[in-house]
Chains A and B, each alone.
Chain A
Amino acid sequence: MKLRAERRVSHKWTALLLLGAVLAQAEIRVQCPGDTDGDAVVDQPISGRQIKCMHLSAGDGFANMADGKLQYIFSFANLTGTPVGDAMMAGMLAAEFPAPLITLKEGEEFYLTVTNVGMTRRPDLFDGHSVHFHGFPNASAVFDGVPDASAVPVMAASFTYYYNIVEPGTYMYHCHVEATEHMQMGMLGNLYVQPKQNDLADGTILGAHVHRNPDGAGPLGDRYVYNDGDGSTRYDVEFPIQMSSFDPAFHEASLQVQPLPFAMMRDKYAMLNGRGYPDTINPSPIPNSETGGFGQKMNSRVSAVRGQKILLRLSNLSVTAFFTLTSSGLPMKVVGTGARLLRGPDGKDLYYETNSVTLGGGEAADVIVDSSSLQPGTYFLYTSNLNFLSNDGEDFGGMMTEVVIQ
């Protein structure tokens, strides 16, 4: 471990030297109203405004697949709370897979700063990085993250995106620079927005439902997927679950500075929240075997007490495949797709019950599982693209997780 740590530091200093010329001009800067010290944490709230800030680094790192194979990745890491002067050192080689979870509330103003820390293991690359808030309604081009249609930060520079959050639902985010490459490399994350209906006063009548909110914004009140007006999207526990997949040949080619197989891409690792089964149910962050950093922080183990309503915020950011998630007997009700309540324009209910959900890349669905009819025990949520119940050559695992009902 000591050797590893030393090597990591030496790589970082190498990279810093390489970046030296850029650093002389570039600027790392966090923009966050109410933050007095540049760590993207609001220190002095501004009256009448709900401001949420985050600071992400964008760079490289490593992740281990469920069969143990090491994969070189690009992704984001969470620098929120890190002093801005430490951002480069904290962000380099720290990529997380999936990228850090972003949770927002309707009504918030979201200031998202991205600092491009460069790809330490690919000093030949001078790529920019961006954030595409996928599905953001009535988007502007400048904050859309598409490098062709906007501007993106160079290495050792920051860009602050501004999003006025007005539509609840399950979104996702990813880098849009050299999208095929950067997304295959892992720059993918969960993002969702909770509705204002959660904040209604205790006892508010919503159709046949009486909203409970005994503790203000605390944990005891009712929570909903959307502003449904009738409580029909109420849930007790929520789990963001993002599908993704890796082609190990692509990641190896990237690390070895070889031509990248774009059209020839063939994904072999199908994952939920950046892990294959059985890592999906491991509650702990997983360290990678190269740097020892804990970049795989999310599991996708679903647990609930019988009777609770479970919200699965499903999304797919695979760059190669549609995936179907099915279950061993969980009653699924789809109440939203694409960050919109499933209702017709005149309010007609389009919810449907199912045992499987199929999503392509860039698609999302809000699924409520009512566990009141379930016997306590362990259920499985897994892909019915059965060849992907594997971790590359390991004929076991893949895109699967457990749903535990107590």
Chain B
Amino acid sequence: MAEGKQQHPLQVYFWIWGLLFVLSFFSYLVDILGFESYVRWSLIILFMLLKAGFIVAIFMHMAWERLALIYAIIGPPVVLLLLIGLMAVEGDYTESTRVDFFGADQTVFLGHGEAAEH
């Protein structure tokens, strides 16, 4: 079965392998250098997407597959990433409902028994 057989020069893999190490080191560096808030989150997501992209495109050979397969497989996860983002943003609303139910006192929340009586 010649169709679907993925054979590429070894060099490609070694390059991507090295690149993944470098990118992992960079994302680790984000923590060591102590970036905070939006800078931190943007850098984490940037390195995460780069790493994920190279793994899928080269190691999993997606770059050489037909567009029908690429769109079918990559499309849904992109939408899912959006969902993760949306629910992170919705965290504020979830927190405000927690405050409504448990009150602003943080210690009440830890004692599950007392909180349930409200």
A and B: partners?
no
Interface residues of B (CB under 8 A from A): none
Interface residues of A (CB under 8 A from B): none
